[in-house]
Amino acid sequence: MELPRFHRLRRAYYRLEGTACRACGAIAFPPRPACAACRSADISPHLLSGRGRLYSFTRVAQPPRGFASMAPYAVGMVRLEEGPLVTAQLADSEGEDLAIGMPMEMVTRKIRDACENGLIVYGYKFRPVIRPDGSPSGALDPRPDTRVSDTRPGTSAPGTEP
Amino acid sequence: MRKVDVIGIGQTDVREHWARSLRDLAVEAVEAARRDAGVERVDAIFIGNMAASSLCGQANLASLVADACGLLPVEAVTVEAACASGGAAVRAAYLAVAGGAADRALAVGVEKMTDLLTDGVTSALATAADADYEAAHGASFVALNALLMRRYMHEHHVRREDFAPLAVLSHQNALDNPRALYRQPMTADDYARSPLVADPIGVLDSAGIADGAAAVVLSATAPERRSKRPPVRISGSASATDTLALADRRDPLHWTAVGHAAGAACRMAGLRPKDLDLFELHDAFTIVTALTLEACGFADRGTALKLAAEGRLARDGDLPICTLGGLKGRGHPVGASGVYQVVEVVQQLRREAGKAQVKDARVGLAQSVGGSGSVAVAHVLQI
């Protein structure tokens, strides 16, 4: 991961910050310069909640370069409650307990091996939501009322630096 | 636009060619195509290649190929569309001839993948995905297709074993292709026992990494020309795009670029999909075959696997696919595959496919797909 590139990505990676269209209300992640739904350029930054449901998952046995230390890891797509799908590693899971439809929540984790340039890349991953009594919620559980913890930095007013 | 024919074809074996360089492979395919066409010079060369910069430390294949083939100072350029680079090179050559910029154009697809170890090749192929929102998260190309396969199984209530007939068919057809990488038969049992790469995708769901080159010579139709082989007309040529990242699709299981490209090529040729005698589709993974057949309208959503189970995709079925093994049986030197597909359709239409011959083949579709359905190039050929 290159330094200037990660600087550009930090809001999306750390805060799950996407965009909202002022014209039609559509929420996008990743952020887009113009709305995919109505093509308006009247868009503003929008912090997504990080809650969603698991759309699909897989366990990677042959990692690409830069992910050897993560192997074996699970990757999935999560349907965020605002609408967009996001692809990410899945955290806090052996992979055996995953099921399509299960509630997921965003966490911030180290994404890859240490970079030669010294950069440690943190970003979003998703983990199965744990109920307050410590048991994992299953695919058929309704969304819990409260998340166990809010681990996302920068959850103050949008636009402030993390 | 002028009418365009394929007047010559050439291909190397698809192998792990330890002793042959990218240059060697390109020259072999080009020489074979020129001999087949009975021509020495061309007006333009379009090279299909995805990843020589990463895999071989070599870009600027335009100059490399023109020089190595003894064709200087011919116009040349490399065309890149991820795994559809070969198809895109054929389209670029087609447009040059159809539009009058060239009377004769060469499209050569070449990829040399076996100099690096697996992690290096995986990284090179991952550049077909979204760098910031897929590859940077460790979602390898196989992993992205695995997400699709699992979702497909969930939505349509099919099991992994239901994909076996597609894999078995590709390998069965490859037995009759001496150029193919894999020439051993494969059973549903082998499929069930194959190790998983990114579940539910197993080794036997996936096209193999290999080296190879294929070339076609295109020419403006010239009725008075006597050629060594009967010309095959390119009656349809089209290309379309979709979002780069799978997560940005309206429906990741609906590959609209694939549908648009095939539909536009067929419409241009004045054909309906059921008029096709064969379809060389981009079977990089068994799930891609299923999604392609559905996107092109050959099967309703969720039912493509039934076509395979019923034998309708076999060479004697009503929609033969991958007649010489497809990407899976032939092997998948990524930038070259799109040209191999066109070469094979031409072999079928010329009745030169030997034991792999589809009876009475008169019109065929070749479709090359880049990324996870993010770009598609389709050609209809007929005699």
- Based on the fold, state whether residues B170 and B112 are members of the same structural domain: no
For residue B321, give the CATH number of its domain.
Answer: 3.40.47.10
Interface residues from chain A to B (CB-CB < 8 Å) = 1, 5, 9, 12, 30, 36, 55-68, 70, 73, 75-77, 84-89, 100, 111-112, 121, 123
**What sign results for the dihedral spanned by CA atoms B53, B56, B61, B64?**
positive
* Domain count across chain B: 2
ipTM of the complex: 0.93
Q: With beta carbons less than 8 A apart as the criterion, state whether B340 and B368 touch.
A: no
- Which residue is listed with tokens 């680079």? B85
Closest chain A C-alpha to B150 CA, distance in angstroms: 6
pLDDT attached to residue A134:
64
Q: At residue B330, what is the residue type? A: R
- Closest partner residue to B138 among A30, A36, A60, by Cβ? A60
B205 domain-assigned? no
Residue B130 belongs to a domain = no
Residues of chain B contacting residue A30, judged by C-beta atoms under 8 Å apart: 132-133, 245
Is B260 a known active-site residue?
A: no
Burial-class residue B226 by CB neighbours within 10 Å (0-12, 13-18, 19+).
exposed
Q: Given the DSSP bridges, would you call strands B44-48 and B104-111 parallel, antiparallel or unpaired?
A: parallel
The whole-angstrom distance between A30's CA and the closest CA on chain B is: 8
Largest CA distance in chain A: 45
Positions in chain B short of pLDDT 50: none
In single-letter form, the type of residue at position B147 comes to: L
Q: Does B159 touch chain A (CB under 8 A)?
A: no
Q: B165 and B279 share a domain? A: yes
Residues B222, B308 within the same domain: no
Test the A interface: residue of B116, B132, B203 with most A CBs within 10 Å: B132
Whether B91 contacts B239, CB under 8 Å = yes
* DSSP per-residue letters across A97-141: T--TT-EEEEEEEE-SSPPTTS---EEEEEEEPBPTTSPBP-TTS
- Asked if residue B123 belongs to a domain, the reply is no
Residues B161, A135: Cα–Cα separation, whole Å: 33
Residue B269 vs residues B236, B379, B383: alpha-carbon distances, Å: 5, 9, 12
Check CB contact under 8 Å for B137 and A84. no
Q: Which domain holds residue A124?
A: 3-14+49-128
Does residue B73 have a cis bond before it (omega within 30 degrees)?
A: yes
Task: Please tell me the predicted confidence (pLDDT) of residue A126.
Answer: 97
Please enumerate in sequence order all residues whose Cβ is within 8 A of that of A87, keeping only pairs 6 or more positions apart, or say none: A75, A76, A77, B133, B134, B137, B139, B144, B147, B245, B246, B247
Residues B36 and B55 reside in one and the same domain? yes
3 state SS for B267-290: HHCCCCHHHCCEEECCCCEHHHHH
Q: Residue B23 domain-assigned?
A: yes
Distance CA B32, CA B29 (A): 5
- What residue type is assigned to position A73 of the chain? Y
| Chain A residue closest in CA terms to B124 | A64
Q: Among A8, A9, A58, which would you mutate to test the B interface (most chain B Cβ atoms within 10 Å of its Cβ)? A: A58
Residues B288 and B356 both lie in one domain = yes
| CA-based nearest residue to B3, from B95, B90, B98 | B98
Residue B113's CB is within 10 A of a number of other CB atoms, namely 29
B134 CB near a chain A CB, below 8 Å?
A: yes
- By DSSP bridging, strand A43-47 and strand A17-21 are antiparallel
Asked if residue A137 belongs to a domain, the reply is no
- Same domain? B32 vs B46: yes
Same domain, B50 and B175: no
Which residues form the domain of B270? 140-198+234-382
Question: Is residue B324, in this structure, part of any structural domain at all?
Answer: yes
B77/B25 same-domain check: yes
Q: Which pLDDT belongs to residue A162?
A: 29
Strands B363-370 and A85-90: unpaired
> Which residues from B are below 8 Å from A104, CB to CB?
none
Please confirm whether the linkage preceding A30 is cis (ω < 30° from 0): yes
**What pLDDT does residue A96 have?**
80
Is B131 within a domain? no
Residue B128 belongs to some domain of the structure: no
DSSP B211: B
Asked if residue B367 and residue B259 are part of one domain, the reply reads yes
Scan for tokens 């010489």, then name that residue. B324
Q: Which residues of B touch A73 (CB under 8 A)?
A: 138
Give the CATH number for residue A122: 2.40.50
pLDDT at B225: 60
- Written as tens digits, the pLDDT of chain A (162 aa) is 999 999 999 999 999 999 999 999 999 999 999 999 999 999 999 999 999 999 999 999 888 889 998 888 999 999 999 999 999 999 988 778 899 999 999 999 999 998 888 899 999 999 999 777 766 655 444 444 433 333 344 443 333 332
Within-domain flag for B276: yes
Res A151: pLDDT: 39
pLDDT at position A137, please?
59
Q: What one-character DSSP code corresponds to residue A68?
A: G
Catalytic residue, chosen from B69, B83, B266, B322, is B83
Alpha helix locations (H) across B8-50? 22-37
Catalytic residue among B17, B282, B332, B379: B332
A157/B304 Cα distance (integer angstroms): 49
Token pair, residue A23, equals 């014209």
B132 touches chain A (CB under 8 A): yes
Q: What is the pLDDT of residues B108-157, one digit of tens each?
A: 999 999 999 988 898 899 999 999 999 999 998 999 999 999 999 999 99
**B365 with B268: CB under 8 angstroms?**
no
Is B296 an active-site residue?
Answer: no
Residue B192 contacts A, CB cutoff 8 Å: no
